[in-house]
Amino acid sequence: MGLLDILGLTLATALALYALCLLGRRRRRPGEPPLINGWIPFLGKALDFREDPSKLLLTLQQKYGDMFTVHIAGRYITFIMDPLLYSSVTKNSKYLEFQEFADSLASRTFDYPSVLKGDFPGLNENVHRNYQFLLGKPLDALSDNMMTNLQWIFNTQFSQATDWKVGKLYKFCCSVMFKASFITLYGRDPSADGHNVIGAIEEKFTKFDASFSYLAANIPIELLGATKRIRKELIDVFLPTNTANWLGVSELIEDRKEMFERYEVLRDYDKAAHHFAFMWASVGNTIPATFWAVYYLLRHPEALAVVRDEIDHLLQSTGQERGPGCNIRLTREQLDNLVYLESALNESLRMSSASMNIRIIKEDFIFKLEGNQEVSLRKEDWVAIYPPILHMDPEVYEDPKKYRVDRYVENGKKKTTFYKRGKKLKYFLMPFGSGTSKCPGRFFAVNEMKLFIILLLAYFDVEIMEEKQIGLEKNRMGLGIALPDSDICFRHKLRP
Ligand code: HEM
């Protein structure tokens, strides 16, 4: 057989396989939303989605309307594009489930046995009950301790900056927020040098975090270089034998430890893996969110001045000194009343949040939506909301690509009224998810970020030193707050 024959045969086989794939691909049934299969077998629209999810979804919306099903890497995902319809998803928990999806993703990524499939009666409920320690009085205690730990870090590591000190902004935010959050939640080993030990954990966390999106996409950990070893080392940090003597452990983590102790079937490694998962949840999004908040403020001097003024005014009016050696204390109410700082945070969350809200369809059912619409949906498909589309909708947010520090302020108070087609939106800002999957750490997260910015601006003059614009890294799209696509030089100096 000549070369041309072989080539011809290969081409014919490939075409036959492709034709088979086309024939075997899914067809839309009556009553179902428009179906977009894509032309690439097995991947469907996965490459376009990975490249730019918002662009793909907006193009499909123009062609197919506010609800359509897209084939993405073996999954059929029905997107709900109209924010006025979002509550139909959160209300339909009878048919749309989240727990099993989250359990399978988290157990695979963080290496603990499935909470729902294993023999751990009541564990899922107990884990969720534990989130009460992120509310009310325990939340106040967490925020207070976070402030103490942040000031300890600022005082011991940065109080010598009488002249300009140059650094990288993401690295700075990551190092301070990781350390302060870690100590606040887990306490510290009294026999070790606090800065170094936690610095080493942070380094490993950063490496693991870089692989997180691949693990979440179900890529086997064995294909991800050193990730498996690093994950094990991070899990080992939390082994009961290693953390038994730690001091200053939060109520929340004490309660989690006691809860896991009640499950004899959980091995020490499994308990440690659960702690590691919570540790990732507590910093994985807060660190990039803090970076974006600071980055946007520094890029907009007029916004920075407004927020700095608000903070200085609060400190003056409560008779508190600012700068190294001082001990700033703020109540929940005082933090809550910083409307410009909160608006600045919300605005940077709006611009950097990329989380997708996913639900799995438990059985075939007729999905009834607001306004008498209904569609048939199939068991095991996904229903998804992609909030970045809402966050960048010019009808909801005028000039959405522009950073406006006061976007969430109205007449000196928090603004919560945003409209679509003249109707008030229940969901207008969704960095923390929605309904049953809403982040239980959101109040603590906002407090942590506020405290960080308060101290940063109370201690230092801060400036960005490079002209370049930082964009959102594509890898994390769909999974929380996007990481920046590069770091940027900044400088800081103690304020006079
Ligand atoms: C800016 C910071 C944060 C953002 C944007 C964020 C966002 C989210 C989102 C979107 C989810 C839902 C995930 C999904 O739908 O698949 C989630 C879940 C979760 N978050 Fe956060 N989060 C932040 C900070 C925190 C903090 C500080 C903590 C704890 C101290 C925390 C603890 C958790 C936990 C435990 C879950 C899983 C809840 C469950 O079991 O269902 N998060 N977060």
Indicate the residue among 345, 372, 399 that finishes a domain: 372
Provide Rg for the chain, Cα atoms.
25
Q: pLDDT class for 459, splitting at 50, 70, 90?
A: very high
Number of domain units in the chain: 2
C-alpha span between 64 and 82 (Å, rounded): 12
pLDDT tens for 83-115 read 999 988 888 888 999 888 889 899 999 999 999
Question: Are 33 and 366 spatial neighbours (Cβ–Cβ below 8 Å)?
Answer: no
Distance CA 16, CA 458 (A): 68
Nearest CA to ligand 1 atom 2: 286
Ligand 1: distance of its center to the CA of 376 in Å?
A: 31
Does any ligand 1 atom lie closer than 6 A to the CB of residue 109? no
- Whether 383 is covered by a domain: the verdict is no
Supply the pTM of this predicted model.
Answer: 0.93
* Ligand 1 site, residue 53, Cβ cutoff 6 A: no
The angle subtended at Cα 140 by Cα 426 and Cα 138, nearest 5°, is 95
Based on the fold, state whether residues 173 and 111 are members of the same structural domain: no
pLDDT digits (tens, 9 = 90+) for 327-365: 899 999 999 999 999 999 999 999 999 999 999 999 999
Kind and range of the H or E element at 251?
helix 251-261
Give the pair of three-digit tokens for residue 273.
């893996």
List the residue whose alpha carbon is closest to atom 20 of ligand 1: 439
In a 13 Å sphere around the CA of 62, the CA atoms on its Cβ side amount to 5
Is 191 contained in some domain? yes
List the domain range (segments joined by +) for residue 29.
Answer: 3-116+359-372
Of 372, 397, 432, at which residue does a domain stop? 372
Residue 152 maps to which CATH number? 1.10.630.10
Phi, psi torsion values for 134, nearest 5 degrees: -105, 15
CA 435–ligand 1 middle distance (angstroms):
13
Each residue's pLDDT tens digit, 127-175? 999 999 999 999 999 999 999 999 999 988 887 878 999 999 999 999 9
**Quick one: pLDDT band at residue 21, thresholds 50, 70, 90?**
low
Structure tokens at 37: 């299969």
What is residue 93's DSSP assignment? T
Q: What angle separates helix 251-261 from helix 136-158, to the nearest 10 degrees? A: 120
Verify that 327 and 475 share a domain, yes or no. Answer: yes
d(C-alpha 433, C-alpha 355), whole Å? 7
- Assess if residue 380 is contained within a domain: no
Same domain, 265 and 324: yes
Same-domain check for residues 103 and 138: no
- For residue 496, what pLDDT is reported? 84
In-domain check, residue 379: no
Residues 343 and 364 in one domain: no
Residues 109 and 193 reside in one and the same domain: no
Which has the closest alpha carbon to 361: 385, 379, 386? 379
Report the alpha-carbon distance of residue 151 to residue 146 in Å, rounded.
9
pLDDT digits over 387-414, tens only?
999 999 999 999 999 999 999 999 999 9
Q: Say if residue 423 is in the same domain as residue 466.
A: yes
Residue 378 lies in a domain: no
Q: Give the CA diameter of the chain.
A: 91
User: Ligand 1: does its nearest atom lie under 6 Å from the Cβ of 445?
Assistant: yes
Task: Tell me, using a 6 A CB cutoff, whether residue 146 lines ligand 1.
Answer: no
C-alpha 480 to ligand 1 mean position (Å): 8
Q: State whether 109 and 132 are in the same domain.
A: no
Domain boundary among 342, 372, 402: 372
User: Whole-angstrom Cα distance, residue 483 to residue 410?
Assistant: 30
Nearest by Cα to 402 from 287, 291, 285, 300 = 300
Cα(382) to ligand 1 centroid in Å equals 20
Q: How far is the CA of 282 from the centre of ligand 1 (A)?
A: 7
Kindly give the distance from the C-alpha atom of residue 411 to the centroid of ligand 1, in angstroms, as a whole number. Answer: 31
Looking at ligand 1, which residue's alpha carbon is closest to its atom 6?
432
Instruction: Please check whether residues 84 and 229 belong to one and the same domain.
Output: no
Question: Quick one: 39 and 143 in the same domain?
Answer: no
Determine the atom of ligand 1 nearest the C-alpha atom of 444: 27
- 47 alpha carbon – ligand 1 mean position (Å): 27
Full DSSP string of 397-427: SSSTTS--TTTTEETTEE----EETTEEPS-
CA distance 93 to 139: 28
Residues 218 and 303 in one domain: yes
126-138 b/e (C-beta count within 10 Å ≥ 16 → b): bbeebeebbeeeb
Sign of CA dihedral 37, 42, 47, 52: positive
Residue 205 is assigned to a structural domain of this protein: yes
392 falls within a domain:
yes
The answer to whether residue 103 is domain-embedded is yes
- In Å, what is the CA distance from 39 to each residue of 11, 62, 73? 18, 19, 12
Mean pLDDT of 228-242: 94
The verdict on the CB of residue 480 being under 6 Å from ligand 1 is yes
pLDDT band at residue 262 using 50, 70 and 90 as cut-offs? very high
Best mutation site among 107, 285, 483 for ligand 1 pocket (most ligand atoms within 8 Å of CB) = 285
Is 402 in the same domain as 363? no
Kindly give the number of the ligand 1 atom that is closest to the alpha carbon of 449. Answer: 1
Q: What does the DSSP assignment read for 61-75?
A: HHHH-SEEEEEETTE
Give the Å distance between the CA of 238 and the centre of ligand 1: 20
User: In terms of Cα–Cα distance, which of 64, 58, 21, 13 is closest to 39?
Assistant: 21
Residue range 295-308: mean pLDDT, rounded: 97
> By alpha-carbon position, which residue is closest to atom 14 of ligand 1?
437
Closest ligand 1 atom number to CA of residue 353: 5
